[in-house]
Amino acid sequence: MSSVAFAQPKSVTSPLQIPKFARRSSLFSPPNFFLPPGSRWDRFPALSVASSTDNSTSDLPPLVVVGSANADIYVEIERLPGVGETISAKSGQSLAGGKGANQAACGGRLSYPTYFVGQIGDDANGRLIKDALEAVGGVRLDYVKSVGGSPTGHAVVMLQPGGENSIIIVGGANTFGWPSVLSDQEGLEIVKKAGVVLLQREIPDDINIQVAKAAMTAGVPVILDAGGMDTPVPSELLRYVDIFSPNESELARLSGMPTESFEDITVAARKFHSMGVKQVLVKLGAEGSALFVEGEEPIKQPAIMAPKVLDTTGAGDTFTAAFAVALVEGKSKKECLRFAAAAASLCVQVKGAIPSMPSRESVTSLLQSPV
């Protein structure tokens, strides 16, 4: 996401403690105009949230992120090297990342109870990721598994002036070592108790299919971020997905259609409606975002422009996770889009993926600030 404002992050609450501003004054379920009657929201009783007179958070259905965790090796360069060319980087460092870990960290920073389900290697990079997620606060790591024989996934992030990046991923433990059949103890237990499940495509499709099917059976909505593998999304996976979320280039590649204009984007999004996905949430970078609900007019959200863009690496993950948090809190479609846009705007002003995730306070402050 290109230029899409920064408040200094504040400390967050403990893993299952939600600040008062995130609680509701009465029991609620997500508004029934967000998804059609008979949808999974309607069938999922755990989406009632305790009133603010009850300090317990045990009734809050968590955000559950199942996905990848990487050690991101950042190198700052003036330009990409040509074939056969060696260039020098201005600086370099290793930071925790991966689309799954990024989205889980965002949920934690937004003070919503969040679980991360994923795999890391038994190595220094695995410890880097666990330490980073623990430092964020609000992210439960009960279902993070260390696997022997495979290194922690890692990525080389080539960061260019203006915040744009190119990324090469090595799957490692994100790709190998998963059980052929997931059990409750390996993450399905918490998936079935979630308020919403977030998936991406940096882990095997068959794992995503098992998770999404378990969520559907339990009446839990599923959001699939299209980022990761560039292969077509299996139709079986799409059958279990409530909201499919590509960026503009992913939408073009996966639909096989042009996305040069908003009309093009609309047609491409509707192709996924015909494949059984009722809602398509498209991230459009500096142009903002749009939500395409089958049978309804698209809802556009302009980008909330940042005064300076330093790094766009985690912006898409921030947007998707913030949208999911707003959704499970019962916000309207427009409110979800605006909340996510504010979070992404704050994200791009800090280098690194997990370090750039904004706090709830900073997002709220930006939304309340004068335009």
Q: Has 172 been labeled as part of a binding site?
A: no
Q: Has 308 been labeled as part of a binding site?
A: no
Q: Has 193 been labeled as part of a binding site?
A: no
Q: Has 347 been labeled as part of a binding site?
A: yes
Q: Would you name the residues annotated as active-site residues?
A: 317
Q: Has 165 been labeled as part of a binding site?
A: no
Q: Has 47 been labeled as part of a binding site?
A: no
Q: Has 89 been labeled as part of a binding site?
A: no
Q: Has 70 been labeled as part of a binding site?
A: yes
Q: Has 287 been labeled as part of a binding site?
A: yes
**Cβ-contact 126, 173 below 8 angstroms:** yes
Residues across the chain: 371
Q: Has 101 been labeled as part of a binding site?
A: yes
Distance CA 232, CA 237 (A): 11
Distance CA 213, CA 228 (A): 20
Q: Has 283 been labeled as part of a binding site?
A: yes
Quick one: tokens of 1?
């996401």
Beta 114-121 vs 91-97: how paired, if at all? Answer: unpaired
Q: Has 100 been labeled as part of a binding site?
A: yes
Q: Has 344 been labeled as part of a binding site?
A: no
- Known binding residues for ATP are 247, 283-288, 316-317
- Known binding residues are 70-72, 98-102, 202, 247, 283-288, 311, 313, 316-317, 347, 350, 352, 356
- Known binding residues for K(+) are 311, 313, 347, 350, 352, 356
- Known binding residues for substrate are 70-72, 98-102, 202, 317
